[in-house]
Structure 1
Amino acid sequence: MPGCSTRTTLQLVGPTSWTEVSAALRYDSGDPFAVRIRFGGRAEAVDGDDAGSGVEWLVARDLLHAGLSRPSGDGDIRLWPARTPGDVLFLELRAPSGHALFELSRAVLAGFVADTERLVPRGQESEVVDVEPELVALLRCERPDADGR
């Protein structure tokens, strides 16, 4: 399945200083509702399936689209534009172990979201997902495949 990815640098907002954090955004049209954000790790993990590097979060593509222009998200993932004009968005991630606040470029995220929408236009995600084989397996009470499907 086609996909797209981009690398960027986010600023981890700390109480007294900010720290640069490398990140990679990855979209796969086979999972059209989601975007993966990998923080840190090796560069080759962006295009491969090297789950051992960095930390990865799964984010709804609609949340990223909405967060470009207004506060978006509830709970673990929130995104909103800065109140001042410019190229700044804030991304907050919450986990049981704590939370992190990042500053990122609106232009970089907007470009990436536009790339994903060229692959699968918004509102057409369900046309790309082939759920029929999954439903047939569930209705027959078949066991999942070895890969968890």
Structure 2
Amino acid sequence: MTLQLVGPTSWTQLSATLGYDPRDPFAVRIRFGGRPRAGAPDDGVEWLVARDLLASGLGHPCGDGDVRLWPARTAEDVLFLELRAPSGHALFELSRTALADFVAATEQLVPLGQESDVADMGPELHALLQGEGPDLGGR
């Protein structure tokens, strides 16, 4: 997928790869930059985004915190994607049609709303119940 990085004075075209794995049915990976190759440094950046956020953002503003998505008011095929991190933030313009096609393809694998039916939460839940989960620093 091609995205436009919106800058203060110009826009830069970037290539991104969207990935979906039915074994992790709630998540979509958005990878910017090169693909990892054996023996080569990984020069890409990957964001993990909730699939339902992408589906919802096709029609109305959604997201809170690090990832936000909303349709443009004046152009039907334009969405804006904002990504925030402690090191900064980026605003992208992308095709609504391209993202809708991607979301539809993921729904062929796992329909929206049925993610829990295919997600294997057993090992993660067991680890949390046994006190082996991530240390959240007292939260």
TM-score of the alignment, normalized to the shorter chain, above 0.5: yes
CA distance in 1 between partners of 2:41 and 2:56 (Å)? 28
Structure 1 residue 52 displacement after superposition: 1.8
Give the unaligned 5+ runs of structure 1. Answer: 1-7, 144-149
CA distance in 2 between partners of 1:56 and 1:84 (Å)? 30
Could you tell me which of 68, 74, 85 is aligned with 2:58? 68
Q: Percent identity?
A: 73
CA distance in 1 between partners of 2:41 and 2:17 (Å)? 13
Flag the 1:51–1:118 CA change in 2: closer, same or farther, 3 A: farther
Q: Normalising by structure 2, what TM-score?
A: 0.85
Could you tell me which of 47, 53, 59 is aligned with 1:57? 47
Q: Normalising by structure 1, what TM-score?
A: 0.80
SS in 1 for 2:100: helix
**How many residue pairs are counted as aligned between the two chains?**
132
SS in 2 for 1:83: coil
In structure 2, give the amino acid aligned to 1:13. V
> Given the alignment of the two structures, is residue 18 of structure 1 paired with residue 11 of structure 2, yes or no?
yes
Map 1:119-130 to 2 at 5 A.
Answer: 119-130=109-120
Map 1:97-112 to 2 at 5 A.
Answer: 97-112=87-102
Flag the 1:66–1:139 CA change in 2: closer, same or farther, 3 A: closer
Residues 3-59 of structure 1, C-alpha deviation per residue, up to 9 Å, x if partnerless? Answer: xxxxx11000001000001100000000000000001114xx4xx9x9923100000
Give the aligned partner of residue 4 of structure 1: none
CA distance in 2 between partners of 1:133 and 1:64 (Å)? 27
> Given the alignment of the two structures, is residue 79 of structure 1 paired with residue 69 of structure 2, yes or no?
yes
In structure 2, give the amino acid aligned to 1:37. I
Give the aligned partner of residue 23 of structure 2: 30
CA distance in 2 between partners of 1:51 and 1:70 (Å)? 38
In structure 1, give the amino acid aligned to 2:2. T
Could you tell me which of 70, 77, 81 is aligned with 1:91? 81
